[in-house]
């Protein structure tokens, strides 16, 4: 695939990382299927991206393409300024936000954005999802915070994500009047966080219909988070 006019030279993608990018394109393409499967998006909304290790590059889906039509070959590569490096389609409209996160959060290997119903409902009222469930403590280490309102199209959303999540244990942020963004050590980890964010958003909403959810003590949140992050699962 050749770079369209005005894009960065494909020469930055050398033989050393060619196979890595191909692997990430397959992974990111497959992970996009998890978004409709878990009812996190409708139509062509939402996106998954992955950092290219050791390079200021990311892999993300093209803008406005049906999920049924996504293939590894259709995944595009951009730099951390959101400029197209390789691909034949325009990158996602959220690329600048993803790129800003990678540029300023070195530990992040994957970013996901959805408009999942319940998490987005919390974002619409500008209220954090309180840590009233052990699952929230396990996965997010406390309340799921709200980020500022920002317009789509430049790195304003990315700045809000970074400002909100810096110093927080949460791997999700509810961008006000927009929807959730999640981060992870890789793209799969970020998708998992998106699935869990929507699940707890729904559960806490339902709990509020019954009464006032009971907060978990901070010491218990810390203990739950440490166990889940460091002990849970297979070695």
Query: Is 98 known to be catalytic?
Result: no
Superfamily of domain 10-229 in the CATH hierarchy: Class II aldolase/adducin N-terminal domain (3.40.225.10)
Active-site option among 113, 118, 143, 225: 113
Q: Is the pLDDT of residue 7 over 70?
A: no
> So where are the chain's domains?
10-229
Q: Is the pLDDT of residue 12 over 80?
A: no
Q: Give me the mean pLDDT over the 151-173 stretch.
A: 96
| Residue recorded with tokens 């901070």 | 218
Q: Is the pLDDT of residue 8 over 80?
A: no
CB 66 within 8 A of CB 44: yes
CB 190 within 8 A of CB 165: no
Its sign, for the CA torsion 229, 231, 232, 234, is positive
The b-or-e profile of 110-135 (16+ CB within 10 A means b, else e) is bbbbbbbebbbebbeeeeebbbbbee
CB 101 within 8 A of CB 182: no
Active-site option among 32, 94, 118, 138: 138
Query: Is 107 known to be catalytic?
Result: no
Give pLDDT tens digits for 189-225: 999 999 999 999 999 999 999 999 999 999 999 999 9
Give pLDDT tens digits for 113-138: 999 999 999 999 999 999 999 999 99
pTM of the predicted protein model: 0.93
Query: Is 138 known to be catalytic?
Result: yes
Active-site option among 68, 106, 107, 232: 232
Active-site option among 100, 178, 199, 225: 178
């Amino acid at each position: 695939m050749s770079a369209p006019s005005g894009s960065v030279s494909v020469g930055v993608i050398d033989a050393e990382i060619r196979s890595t990018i191909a692997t990430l394109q397959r992974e990111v393409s497959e992970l996009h299927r998890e978004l409709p499967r878990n009812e996190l998006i409708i139509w062509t909304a939402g996106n998954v991206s992955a950092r290219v290790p050791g390079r200021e590059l990311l892999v993300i889906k093209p803008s406005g393409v049906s999920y049924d039509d996504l293939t590894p070959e259709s995944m595009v590569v951009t730099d951390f300024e959101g400029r197209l490096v390789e691909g034949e389609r325009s990158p996602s409209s959220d690329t600048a936000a993803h790129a800003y996160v990678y540029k300023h959060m070195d530990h992040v290997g994957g970013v996901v954005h959805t408009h999942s119903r319940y998490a987005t409902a919390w974002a619409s009222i500008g209220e954090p999802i309180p840590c009233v469930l052990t699952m929230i403590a396990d996965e997010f280490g406390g309340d799921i915070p709200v980020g500022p309102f920002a317009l789509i199209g430049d790195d304003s959303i990315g700045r809000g994500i970074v400002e909100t999540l810096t110093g927080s244990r949460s791997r999700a942020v509810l961008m006000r009047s927009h929807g959730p963004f999640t981060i992870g050590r890789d793209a799969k980890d970020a998708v998992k966080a998106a699935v869990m964010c929507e699940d707890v958003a729904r559960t806490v909403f339902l709990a509020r219909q019954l009464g006032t959810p009971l907060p978990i003590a901070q010491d218990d949140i810390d203990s739950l988070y440490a166990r889940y992050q460091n002990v849970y699962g297979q070695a």
